């Protein structure tokens, strides 16, 4: 078990902090305070914009919403939260809640240290194996040489015409990239969520996310995006590449706003769109 002195908060993500801590932290920061820094000050220090903070004000428990949004970012660690509270001169909050924070961190570290028992398991999607076999069109049936790809394409059905254009521009040109397009490459009869996870994590170097209004309503796209983000907690890996190809009515998803995007909607940069995307997907 990790002792208080051995806890490195820099290595612990915000997701380690449980609901009881979040509710108590909200009790300190949600009320408007004319003297001490409240949730607005902390949200500003977390780099939220004025408009985002005004939107948070509309919710019943604004700081809980702030935390939920902030923890999707790569810098959202327990250490950074403590640093922000200290800079906001809310050492009273740190002092009062430190025991709960350390307790949640120790529980998180203990969960991470537990090693699963390596036994065969059967679930609703069939037997689990170290590497599933025969899930894509050109897989080796024996599983000796599983098919791999340069990128998994995350898209919804209404954007499939643009996916066709992507195939034409990236696979059938000198770029010669290999894309994983679910409707084309995945064999029928497989468990969607399990197979998608394996393709993103083990078979594809990167993931291209085709952002549109319909994407925001897709449960499958939401799952794929969050799963890919969980595999690259910092932006250095360049694993996930958002693409916008048409104008949107709905706001761009907050969960992706810290990533640079490939924007096809800007006429003056369209000529560089495919070159930039291909170069990003060709990196080792």
Q: Return the CATH number at 156.
A: 3.40.50.10140
Residue 161: per-residue pLDDT:
94
Does residue 155 share a domain with residue 107? no
Instruction: For residue 27, give its domain range.
Output: 14-113
Does residue 94 share a domain with residue 176? no
Total count of domains within the chain: 2
pLDDT (tens place) for every residue of the chain, 284 residues total: 444 457 888 888 888 888 888 888 988 898 876 678 889 999 999 998 988 888 888 888 888 888 888 888 878 889 999 999 999 999 999 999 999 999 988 888 887 776 454 444 444 454 444 445 678 888 876 666 788 999 999 999 999 999 999 999 999 999 999 999 999 999 888 788 889 999 999 999 999 999 999 999 999 999 999 888 888 655 445 689 999 999 999 999 988 988 899 999 998 889 999 999 999 999 88
**φ, ψ of residue 118 in degrees (nearest 5):** -85, 85
Residue 12: per-residue pLDDT:
87
Residue 122: per-residue pLDDT:
46
pTM of the model: 0.56
Residue 93 CB: number of other CB atoms within 10 A?
21
Residue 6 covered by a domain: no
Residue 9 covered by a domain: no
Q: End of a domain among 113, 140, 158?
A: 113
Give the residues across from 127 on adjacent strands: 122
Residue 172 covered by a domain: yes
DSSP state of 202: I
Give the residues across from 240 on adjacent strands: 207
Contact 218, 250 (CB under 8 A): no
Q: How far apart are the first and last CA of the chain?
A: 38
Residue 43 CB: number of other CB atoms within 10 A?
24
247 token code pair: 């104008």
Chain centre distance of CA 178? 23
Place of tokens 């005004």: 54
Q: End of a domain among 56, 91, 113?
A: 113
Contact 277, 241 (CB under 8 A): yes
Residue 134: per-residue pLDDT:
77
Residue 121: per-residue pLDDT:
43
Enumerate residues 6+ apart whose C-beta is below 8 A from 207.
151, 152, 153, 154, 200, 224, 225, 228, 239, 240, 241
Residue 133: per-residue pLDDT:
62
Interstrand relation of 126-127 and 122-123 (parallel, antiparallel or unpaired): antiparallel
Contact 244, 265 (CB under 8 A): yes
Find the helix or strand (DSSP H, E) in which 194 lies.
helix 192-198
Does residue 180 share a domain with residue 59? no
Residue 61: per-residue pLDDT:
84
Write the CATH number for 103. Answer: 1.10.533.10
Residue 122 covered by a domain: no
Angle between helices 91-113 and 78-87 (to 10 degrees): 180
Does residue 74 share a domain with residue 19? yes
31 token code pair: 């009320």
Residue 133 covered by a domain: no
Enumerate residues 6+ apart whose C-beta is below 8 A from 228.
152, 154, 200, 207, 209, 239, 240
Residue 76: per-residue pLDDT:
86
Residue 128 CA to residue 152 CA, distance in Å, equals 22
Contact 240, 221 (CB under 8 A): no
């Amino acid at each position: 078990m990790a002792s208080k002195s051995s806890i490195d908060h820099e290595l612990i993500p915000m997701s380690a902090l449980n609901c009881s801590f979040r509710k108590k932290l909200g009790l300190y920061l949600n009320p408007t305070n004319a003297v001490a820094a409240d949730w607005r000050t902390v949200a500003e220090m977390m780099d939220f914009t004025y408009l985002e903070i005004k939107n948070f004000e509309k919710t019943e428990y604004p700081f809980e919403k702030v935390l939920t949004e902030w923890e999707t970012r790569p810098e959202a660690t327990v250490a950074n939260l403590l640093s922000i509270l200290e800079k906001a001169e809310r050492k009273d909050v740190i002092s009062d809640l430190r025991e709960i924070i350390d307790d949640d961190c120790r529980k998180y570290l203990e969960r991470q240290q537990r090693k699963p028992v390596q036994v065969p398991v059967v679930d609703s999607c069939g037997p689990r194996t170290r590497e599933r076999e025969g899930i894509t069109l050109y897989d080796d049936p024996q599983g000796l040489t599983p098919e791999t790809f340069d990128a998994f394409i995350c898209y919804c059905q209404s954007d499939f015409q643009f996916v066709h254009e992507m195939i034409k521009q990236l696979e059938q040109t000198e770029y010669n990239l290999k894309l994983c397009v679910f409707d084309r490459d995945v064999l029928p009869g497989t468990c969607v969520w399990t197979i998608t996870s394996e393709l993103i994590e083990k078979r594809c170097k990167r993931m291209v996310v085709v952002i549109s209004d319909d994407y925001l309503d897709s449960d499958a796209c939401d799952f794929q995006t969050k799963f890919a983000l969980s595999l690259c907690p910092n932006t250095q890996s360049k694993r996930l590449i958002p693409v916008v190809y048409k104008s949107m009515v709905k706001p761009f998803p907050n969960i992706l706003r810290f990533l640079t995007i490939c924007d096809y909607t800007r006429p003056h940069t369209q000529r560089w769109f495919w070159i930039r995307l291909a170069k990003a997907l060709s990196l080792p």
